[in-house]
Structure 1
Amino acid sequence: MSQQHDLPVGGFSRWVNSVEESVIAVLLGLMTLITFVNVVLRYGFNDSLIWGQEVVLILFAWLVLFGIAYAFKITAHLGVDALTAMLPKKGQRVLALLSAAACLIYALLLMKGAWDYWAPFAGLPPTEGRWFPTGIDWGARNNSFYVTDQVPMLEWLRWLEPLTLNKGYPEAEWEHYDKLPRFIAYAMLPIAVALMLFRLVQATIRIITGKQDSLIVSHEAEDEVAAVAATHGEEQK
């Protein structure tokens, strides 16, 4: 079983924890519900939700991205520590800090890439610079007109149109989304990366303060092998 360390009990941290668990439950529930309804319609009524498959694919992508950050929270990512385990405690701590620094740099680069990819779809400016942000690209093309293939536009989201699709145009020239805009489907990318960065910062602080030995402390494979060995030994008795 994965070890789970106590997280900071601050109000913001508690709120993030609650949101993460609720979002994962909602995503799983919606995926199951839409798939079930589509199966019933297909085999029971020779019909289907034309947008069902695309929505399930979007929700699954959200679940994977969100799950990466959540796995940092519960230390569910598998880590190989065969080499570091042979080092003294001081050496393990140094390597843990170096690993945390490398992961933080990677997460920051990923955050820039996630924002720069998503921002034009939302009518927002990406950053300048190839590796690190060096400014704001105010002249970037507005790609907010891109929509999904089959997912219908939700009427209660029409308030987004003046902020994205019609930004900078007089009201007489406004257009309307006929399908759900892609920036909504892609929004989980920067959100999930931001959460991953948040969890990495938490883990790094815990390593610095001595409350955690390594960045990834899951030994799920070892635990499973030990459980199988114990079960096999009991059967032989």
Structure 2
Amino acid sequence: MSQPPAPPEPSYDLAPPPPDPTVKVPLAIEDWLAVLVMAALALITFANVLVRYFSDQSFAWTEEISVFLMIVVTMVGGCSAFVRNHHIRIEALADGGSTQRQRRLAVISQTVVLAFFILLAVLSARLVWDEYVYEETSPAIGVPTWWYSIWLPALSIAIALRTLGSLRRLLAARP
């Protein structure tokens, strides 16, 4: 009796990712910042797990710092994603239709993202100012909360500038 033929190996023909766009400010800044923040987040969390395991105590400050670091890594990742055009979108809608339609949708999308992050920067700057004026402190460590909050408008401005650059490149490209 003969053996049945082996099933063919699955083919995973994944296209290589497109090259990063040419930008004035290197994308390595966001990449390395994300790596460093994730490493710090992992170390802080690991230290807290070890302390809890061996002593039934926990560092009160780790949760506060972890939340702050997760916000930073999210904003830094968003900044990188918008430049590389890897942000969340409905690809069937954004990549379908004629080239002119795709370009119009991309311009609209970039404009809405730009407006959103400018608004987020302004509103979060007002929040930071209120926290500074009213001298709010964090519950676990007791440091001023604006030390954490100042990064939201700063990184919102960074995303807005990256989006503005993407929009400028999109409008300068020939259809």
Which residue number in structure 1 is paired with residue 144 of structure 2? 181
**Any gaps of 5 or more consecutive residues in structure 1?**
123-141, 152-178, 214-237
For 1:86 and 1:42, the matched residues in 2 are separated by 52
| Distance in 1 separating the partners of 2:32 and 2:91 | 32
Amino acid corresponding to residue 183 of structure 1 in structure 2: W
CA distance in 1, matches of 2:121, 2:17: 27
Larger % of strand: which?
1
Q: Does 1:95 pair with 2:105? A: yes
* SS of aligned partner of 1:146: coil
Residue 40 of structure 2 is aligned to residue 40 of structure 1: no
Deviation string, structure 1 residues 192-223 (Cα, Å, up to 9, x no partner): 21111011111101211228x8xxxxxxxxxx
| TM-score of the superposed pair, with normalisation by structure 2 | 0.78
Contact 1:34 1:52 in 2 (8 A): yes
Q: Does 2:90 align with 1:80?
A: yes
Letter in 2 for 1:147: T
In the alignment, the residues of structure 2 paired with residue 57 and residue 84 of structure 1 have an alpha-carbon distance, to the nearest angstrom, of: 33
Tell whether the 8 Å contact from 1:148 to 1:182 is kept in structure 2 after alignment.
yes
- Segments of 5+ residues of structure 2 without an aligned counterpart are 1-15
Aligned to 1:229: none
Alpha-carbon separation, structure 2, partners of 1:85 and 1:50 = 47
Q: Give the number of the structure whose residues are more often helix, by fraction.
A: 2
Of 23, 46, 70, the match for 2:33 = 23
Pick one of 205, 208, 217 that aligns with 2:171. 208
Partner letter of residue 37 of structure 2?
L
Q: How many residues are aligned here? A: 160
1:107-164 Cα offsets, whole Å, 9 max, x none, are 2222221222222223xxxxxxxxxxxxxxxxxxx22x1111112xxxxxxxxxxxxx
Report percent identity of matched pairs: 20
